[in-house]
Amino acid sequence: MTSSSGGLWAAHTATDNAHLIQYDPHFMNEHIVAEGFADAARRLRLSYRAQAWDDVILLPFMFLWKHAIEVQIKTNIRDLAKIRRSQGETGPQVDEASVKRRLQYGLGHDLAGLASEHAEHLVALAVQALPEAVLETVHGLAEMDNKSGTAFRYPGILGAPKANVDFTGLAQSLDDAYSLLSVVIDAVTDGQGV
């Protein structure tokens, strides 16, 4: 039986560094979690060999990228609202509690809604909009997913027709979109962060 405080991890405690991987809740934040999903997607991409069996990785691959992009956009929205507050703005669009509530309960996993709010913050800060290629990737991903964020999680939910996908092009497009989203705050703050 596993410990309730550590669950399955407690049953698999590392006894040497050769098999060690760590979880430290004090180290985890949205930036790290988004990067973890992106890294997992990149590693999955490296396993692709253009063999028929590779078809089974497509939905997990899409889920990893969708979640990495979603978490990064949410992180950016929180940080962009914080920057606006630091510049003296007030109101529900930037109020910390309102932003938290909107991201958690209002927008949730709705990638199109999240992308729209992200764009609104960039406009309010008079910052250059995201490049069209990034917007096309994010909106294309949002179009495939559903507002509950489950389209890539379970079989039979994705409403897309059968398709022959250029995996390399798709992977690069998703990686490029995430990579640019992950540096938005640095661009807005000249690398100073929030």
For the segment 11-26, what is each residue's pLDDT rounded down to a tens digit?
999 999 999 999 998 8
How many CA atoms within 13 Å lie on the side-chain side of 156?
A: 0
Contact in structure between 65 and 176 (CB atoms under 8 Å): no
Dist CA 192 CA 187 (whole Å) = 9
Domain spans in the chain, listed from the N-terminal domain onward:
28-188
And the tokens for 28?
């985890």
Instruction: Quick: pLDDT tens for 84-134.
Output: 999 999 999 999 999 999 999 999 999 999 999 999 999 999 999 999 999
What is the Cα 85 distance to its own chain's centre?
A: 24
Average pLDDT over the chain, rounded to an integer: 94
